[in-house]
Structure 1
Amino acid sequence: MSATRTAAPGSGLRLGYGTNGLTDLRLEDALGLLADLGYEGVGLTLDHMHLDPVGPGLAARTARVGRRLGELGLAVTVETGARYVLDPRRKHGPSLLDPDEDARTARVRLLEKAVRIAADLGAHAVHLFSGILPAGTDPGSGWKRLIEALGPVLDAADQAGVPLAIEPEPGHLLARLADFHSLREQLGDPAALGLTLDIGHCQCLEDDPPQECVRQAAPWLRHVQIEDMRRGVHEHLPFGDGEIDFPPVLDALAHSGYRGLTVVELPRHSHAGPELAAHSLRFLREQRTGGMS
């Protein structure tokens, strides 16, 4: 039987865990684990081992996952950061910045499919990112490709009533919060476009501390990812192994008005996924309670 899922007293936070950190588990087992631990939701990465978006029988598989989420009382965000789901030889390829138009279209179609899956699951957002600027491509051309490619995905999201949540990712064309605002403004500030804020990325790359990034990003937050990290090093770390001071961050999130999931993001730690899922939930609850005035 699943444990009762309650946030830390007065926290206003809804904690989830990303399935990209549980890839050694079957999806059914991963969802059961998270519910039993007391998580309120899951960041579901569409990948070959967890609700493969390009395999046969997708509608029926999605319906089964939706029923299971309902039985367990888990909320969900759909994430699209699978490494090799479209191309077995290129990590995250093709991207929305690919020089080849057909390749970019393949990514667009995947994102449109993710929007439909999210709508069927009752997800509160679809996560995505820009991709790395290809060699030989100038930034202006990269931004042009990104804006054009996002058009049909934004239309699909608007029609489905599921917002997109684009993530500033170190090393990508859209790497920082300022890049998100530039994209938003170039697109005419569409209602369907929101932000995924990764707390570790703030520590790694942004000029302001993570809690200030939360406050600045609050109006556009549609998804939040969280882990520990060190300044200048893009490595997702278990809590306590990095440099982030978490009580101010969790306090800022609790008072931001954001009510979606805050999802633990440890994609390179699946070998210890069950143990880290338990540790992460304990850590975040203790940090939030300890940080309350």
Structure 2
Amino acid sequence: MTAPTRPRIGFSTNIWDNPAEIVEHLEFLAGHFTDIEFEIAEEAQEVLFGADGPEYERIVDGMRHVIDKHGLDVSVHAAWYGPHTDLVSPDERERAESISYLRRAVHLAADLNVQRVTYHPGYMSRRPNDVLLDVLRSSLDRVQPLLSRTGVQLCIENMGANRPRYVVFSPEEHVELCRSTGTWMTLDVPHLATVHLPRGDYDEALAMVAPYVRTAHIADIKGADHTHIPIGEGDFDLWGSLETLGTYGFDGAAVVEEFAKGYQPEQYLEAALDFRRRWDAEGARLRGEG
């Protein structure tokens, strides 16, 4: 009997506030995880987007060396905070700049020979979701030729509750977007929980989006509070959610991502390593290896 599919536990560079020492930090995380998400934000964004040609090539060469040496599975998270991160902006100039930032993330992924780029859709502006989806499709149309040339998979991240600036699409809207654009999804599991646990349809929402998931973000939460905390500090059934994703065939990276005030990066790291040890041990048992 074949063992069930199981996601792999990974880690994001954003837990350490996206340090400017991009290559060095990737090397540090490679000592703990083989599945890593590189996030273009904060200090790392300033360094990467501020680099001239030779400096950019030096950074990329260093990252490729670490990826190849450790056999890493790396994904890229596009810029998501601050100017030029609104793909549904009503301002055409801002939207064009945001598309340019997304294209830069895709170029980086291609330069690193990695396959997946996660992006945020943008911000609310008193327009209904059907209008925002049309604008988002239009933005993605301008990235599609680059995706076709590079083979990079573009993945929308679902937003969570209690952050009214961000666009929150329904599971049905996410599925329709993925189908109509040939793109995919980064499932932020805590985000999905904050929206759908209070509604009582979390299991249904998870089942609907699961076939389109190429990367997952994970953390713990308390109740349905939108605060990503170290695994084990809350009361969320993350284990069960990952097992459910596995039943739908997802065996990709489930990356510990986003941090909360009051906790230290080392707490997220130790909690993730402990969770992964138990998760992998259970996987080995199910395969008959234990």
TM-score by length of 2: 0.81
Partner of residue 184 from structure 1, selected from 161, 172, 178: 178
1:150 maps to 140
Q: What's the Cα RMSD here?
A: 2.8
Query: Cα distance, 1:226 vs. partner?
Result: 0.5
User: What is the number of residues matched between the two proteins?
Assistant: 272
1:98 maps to 89
Query: Cα distance, 1:252 vs. partner?
Result: 2.1
Tell me the amino acid that sits aligned with residue 78 of structure 2: T
1:3 maps to none
2:7 maps to 13
> Helix, strand or coil: the match of 1:96?
coil
> Helix, strand or coil: the match of 1:32?
helix
Give the alignment of 1:1-293 within 5 angstroms: 12-23=6-17, 25=19, 26-37=21-32, 39-50=33-44, 52-55=47-50, 56-57=52-53, 58-84=56-82, 87=83, 93-134=84-125, 136-170=126-160, 171=164, 172-185=166-179, 188=180, 190-191=181-182, 193-206=183-196, 207=199, 213-268=205-260, 272-287=264-279, 289=281
- Identity %, equivalent residues: 23
Structure 1 residues without counterparts, runs of 5 or longer:
1-8, 88-92
Rounded Cα–Cα distance in structure 2 between residues aligned with 1:155 and 1:166: 17
> Helix, strand or coil: the match of 2:228?
strand
* Structure 1 pair 162–94 and aligned structure 2 pair: CA distance change class (3 A): closer
* Structure 1 pair 24–131 and aligned structure 2 pair: CA distance change class (3 A): closer
| Higher share in helix | 2
Structure 2 residues without counterparts, runs of 5 or longer:
none
* Structure 1 pair 82–19 and aligned structure 2 pair: CA distance change class (3 A): farther
Query: Cα distance, 1:256 vs. partner?
Result: 3.0
Q: Deviations over 1:75-97 (max 9, x none)?
A: 1010024423xx3xxxxx54012
Query: Cα distance, 1:16 vs. partner?
Result: 1.4
Tell me the amino acid that sits aligned with residue 214 of structure 2: R
Tell me the amino acid that sits aligned with residue 69 of structure 1: I
Question: Is the 8 Å Cα contact of residues 174 and 180 (structure 1) preserved in structure 2?
Answer: no
> Helix, strand or coil: the match of 1:99?
coil
> Helix, strand or coil: the match of 1:50?
helix
Question: Is the 8 Å Cα contact of residues 228 and 241 (structure 1) preserved in structure 2?
Answer: yes
Question: Is the 8 Å Cα contact of residues 40 and 73 (structure 1) preserved in structure 2?
Answer: yes
Q: Deviations over 1:234-274 (max 9, x none)?
A: 21111122221133222223333223211101234697223
* Structure 1 pair 288–269 and aligned structure 2 pair: CA distance change class (3 A): farther
Q: Deviations over 1:7-64 (max 9, x none)?
A: xx98743221111111274333422332222x11211011352264422232332222
